[in-house]
Chains A and B, each alone.
Chain A
Amino acid sequence: MARSTILIADNSCMIRKGLRSILQNLENSEVIQLIDNKEDVCEIVHKRKPDILIINPDMLPSGCLDAKKEFLNGSKLSLILLSDKKNLKNNLKADGYINYMDGQNTILDMMQEILNKGSFPDKNSETISSREKNILKHIALGLTNKEIADQLFISIHTVVTHRKNITQKLGIKSVSGLTVYAILHNLISMDEVK
């Protein structure tokens, strides 16, 4: 099962590292990077595409009103604000808030709620549909997205979406990895592989 990824951005190293150590108690999630520099935030968020961003509002670009918009447009990102100020609620359209004074359990409960919210669908159901199996078979045979689209009379876009879902469900990204899976599950035979 894929783990949810978390980024923490705050000026203080005590806060960053402290929060990371608290979040280690969460199952199925992982803090992938700590950010200490305001300038780097946008770039790192775009590059690493975390599921959850925990950020001190001071680290946001100045004049920012809709924090989420600032980062990934349309992509799934839960935003949690981290601050020592009490009056932060309802600001900046965040999904959750952590106050410096919050106890460990409060923080963990809130995080768990966000993780459970279902904003990370399908990641744990690993059975692939028969449609996806069919696509997988074609991938394993070495066809390109375009060729698959032509053969199955669907758009390339649909093929790409299916591929994404397959990869997410199986936890396998590379074509050769998917091919091995297809052989193991008798979707294709070994001799068919180029």
Chain B
Amino acid sequence: MRIKKDMKLADVIQLNYMLIPVIHRFGINLGFGDKTVADVCKENEVDLNFFLQLVNAYHDKDYFPKEELQTIPVKNIVNYLKMTHSSYLNDKLSEIEQKIISLQSEDTEDQKYILLIRNFFEGYKSELTEHIMHEENVVFPYVLAVEEIIKNQNFTERNREIFESFSIGKYEEGHNDVEEKLMDLKTIMIKYLTPPANSTLYHTIIQDLFKLEEDLNYHSRIEDKVLTPKVILMEKSICNLI
């Protein structure tokens, strides 16, 4: 079902609870009573059109905003993506890490295996961090430069340098490797390890990993379906400019 501006935001969340962290990243807090999506956006000074595109892209795998895409400034998208990045780095990853650590401190017999899991997760964490840093330091400055070039219909020296040093096609290539490790971790914990004494905590960790994966999938859908196609179009028109 398509999410529309006159729906109650509470109903939207009932429809898909995965949207809770999304609206939070927009600075919207729960407790909005019967207010509609449009009302809440206005109150929180969130761009309604962008909000709708985003929640719909999150909510429906097959949703692909084509025409609407053109109207959203890249800057808004980048800001949003940065907010999700910081929520991964500051909250989600360390939450899971903490749980693994407390699993480690509880059990004595299975120490060795839990250490394996922990090391593996650390490896995954640093890979994801690296991936995110690459986006923040290379990809985002690039797309912002592209937008500026379009806006001014002109190159500054610095923008030209950035534009020539990268292209969005390069970004598309390296997108899958990070997911691999997360999937492996789940597989190992489900198929090949016997849970330690505190199996409840162990189960929670697995569920957290599933949720993280789901959230990351949503996240990369915004990058792949909203940001990338938009930048490809802009690249083309810059090439015409040259």
Contacts and interface: CB of A to CB of B under 8 A. Distances in A.
Interface stretch (A142-150, A155-163, A167-175): A167-175
Contacts of B191: 171
Contacts of B181: 174, 176-177
A45 interface: no
Contacts of B112: 190
Contacts of A181: 188, 192
A21 to B, nearest CB: 13
Given A173-B180, A176-B123, A190-B112, 12 more contacts: A34-B62, A174-B184, A176-B120, A176-B184, A177-B188, A180-B116, A180-B120, A180-B188, A183-B116, A184-B113, A184-B188, A190-B115
Nearest to A184: B192
Task: Classify the secondary structure of B's interface with A.
Answer: helix
Task: Classify the secondary structure of A's interface with B.
Answer: helix
Interface of B: 62, 112-113, 115-117, 120, 123, 180-181, 183-185, 187-188, 191-193
Contacts of B193: 184
Nearest to A172: B184
Q: Can you list the 4 inter-chain pairs with the closest CB atoms, starting with the nearest?
A: A177-B184, A171-B187, A173-B180, A172-B184
Contacts of B115: 190
Interface of A: 34, 170-174, 176-177, 180-181, 183-185, 190
A127 B188 CA distance: 15
B120 A177 contact: yes
6 contacts: A172-B187, A173-B184, A177-B181, A177-B185, A177-B187, A185-B192
A170 B192 CA distance: 9
A34, A172, A185: residue with the most chain B Cβ atoms closer than 10 Å: A172
Contacts of A174: 180-181, 184
Nearest to A171: B187
B113, B183, B192: residue with the most chain A Cβ atoms closer than 10 Å: B192
A182 to B, nearest CB: 10
Contacts of B185: 177
Nearest to B194: A184
A76 B120 CA distance: 33
A161 B183 CA distance: 22
B223 to A, nearest CB: 16
A34 B60 CA distance: 13
Contacts of B183: 173
Nearest to B177: A174
Contacts of A170: 187
A99 B234 CA distance: 42
A174 to B, nearest CB: 5
A6 to B, nearest CB: 15
Contacts of B116: 180, 183-184, 190
A41 to B, nearest CB: 16
